[in-house]
Amino acid sequence: MLKEISGGVCAARGFRAAGVHCGVKAGSSPDKNDLAMILSEKECTAAATYTLNRVKAAPLYVTMDHLENGVAWGVVANSGNANACCPMSHENAEAMCAAAAAATGREPEDFVVASTGVIGQTINIAAIQAGTPVLAAALNADGSDAAARAIMTTDTVKKEIAVSLTIGGKEVRLGAIAKGSGMIHPNMGTMLVFVTTDCAVTHEMLEDALREVVSKTFNRVTVDGDTSTNDMCVVLANGMAGNALIEWKDEDYETFKAALDHVCRTLSRAIAGDGEGASKLVTCKMTGARSEESAERLAKAVVGSSLVKAAMFGSDANWGRVLCAMGYSKAPFRPERVDVTFQSSAGEILVCRQGEQVEFDEDKAKEILSQKEVVIAVDLNEGEESAECWGCDLTYDYVKINGDYRT
């Protein structure tokens, strides 16, 4: 049985974490952590996924190189600067790893490196180098909260989760922290996700599980249609739970993958709900499809539509925008069979049957759409497949936040 527990990335045995302020961004508040580290007592099997944006930040390339052997010991990450598309970016990403290694007694290649913040400005590597020994000294078994806050940019809430389950008669734990609020679109977004686990699992099985899970969680989140240059999702597994090594896609593998899916799905919803300026989480549940692929494409189009998002902000039951977005998704479906229902904690209301409007209570619809979490339930009435994607509404504050993000 899967149980949520406390501890974040430190819930798994053998992991410590920390977050400190070092002044990556000039003028930033000393109360805002901007440098984070996660470190394992033992070498970890490691796997990662990265943005599909052709423009990738230097930390991604350095991490790809460091994880080529499938192992790592820890993560060093900063907020306040993306270290992307700027002079000395690759050298500075390597310098972050070198500083982390010197402060912990490890090697630079033992570290995953990540950055998030403004693109195109050279990172203040001197501040990071000065802050890393302080960061390493602060590593502790209760440091997940500080690390989670250190990777936040425009996030309004920290994103952290941990779970416990049994695999092969042994208690296994997974923990994670994430950041993500804007510049988020399917195929990863401006998100950093660090997952730790004490499960014993091979690199091949860990990589397969991560890719399967990411495709149905983080790749189904959209906030604003922009795919970032910096996003990554990394899993570190140190095997300290003592379970029999997962090296085949057997029952233990499926149990582990289900736990990883729960962690990533929870964080996906948290990222979508904390979209820049957002006032509500919007979920599109697409059912009755001929294939999962077409259901996903249709659901992504709905939650990604600026007009749908604006309607959700205004609590306007403008269901025609839902069908419109589906229509340009390039996924096959029959409009004349589509039913649309709006749902929330205030109830549910059918607004479209077989592709046409039905009479409904506008006041009730507005009440339903005024809640913090709203579901757009679409039944294609064509098959047995389904998919769920997550987004948020589009508010005035999104423009305010991004209008002067750099300055």
Torsion angle of alpha carbons 115, 201, 11, 64, nearest 10°?
A: -10
* Structure tokens given for 114: 């990540």
Strand partners, 20: 35
* Structure tokens given for 165: 């389950």
Helices (H) and strands (E) in the chain, counts: 11, 15
Q: For the chain, how many residues are written?
A: 407
Q: Are 351 and 369 in contact (CB under 8 A)?
A: no
* Structure tokens given for 304: 């990604």
Buried (b) or exposed (e) across 258-283, using 16+ Cβ within 10 A? Answer: ebbbbbbbbbbbbbbbbbbbbbbbbb
Residue 336 CA from chain centroid, whole number: 35
Catalytic residue among 45, 153, 154, 190: 190
User: How does DSSP classify residue 244?
Assistant: P
* Structure tokens given for 52: 């599909």
386: number of Cβ within 10 Å: 17
CA 172, 216, 164 angle in degrees (round to 5)?
15
Q: Are 109 and 66 in contact (CB under 8 A)?
A: yes
Single-letter code of the amino acid located at 7: G
Half-sphere exposure of 124 (CA within 13 A, CB side): 21
Phi-psi region for residue 210, left (φ > 0), alpha (ψ -120 to 50) or beta?
Answer: alpha
User: How does DSSP classify residue 383?
Assistant: -
Q: Is 156 noted as a catalytic residue in this protein?
A: no
Give the residue numbers annotated as catalytic, written as ranges: 190
